[in-house]
Amino acid sequence: MFKKIKLLIKKLFNKNKVTKKMYKFQHITHLKDFIYGLKRSNYFTHNDVLEIYGTPKLHGTNASIVFYKDGSIQIQSRNNILNQHQDNMDFYKWMNPEREEKLFN
């Protein structure tokens, strides 16, 4: 009984708590791989018309901005949370608090 009450209290106090974590960037498929997958799926016939909209994929670095419910912002690269000691092409340094304020408020 006390365990259940303890867990309930813990849930109530942690309800608005934001858990920050690394959000890994997904893989972007090349057009040739997409077409290969379509051909193998047998979902479309040769007579079907398929409209595809896309953007060019630039190879290089990745930087992301994560927005949390509590209003905080996290700067990350494809695989790491960035900070002043672990930066990605100076993106963390470029996203200083003054710039964050101008961009997002």
Structure tokens that stand for 89 in this block? 């092409």
Predicted local distance difference test score (pLDDT) of residue 35:
81
- pLDDT score, position 85: 93
* Tens of each residue's pLDDT in the chain, 105 residues: 556 665 655 655 565 666 677 777 677 778 888 888 888 887 777 777 778 777 776 677 888 888 888 888 888 988 889 998 999 888 889 887 778 777 776
- pTM for the model: 0.49
pLDDT at 9: 58
* Separation CA 75–CA 64 (nearest Å): 6
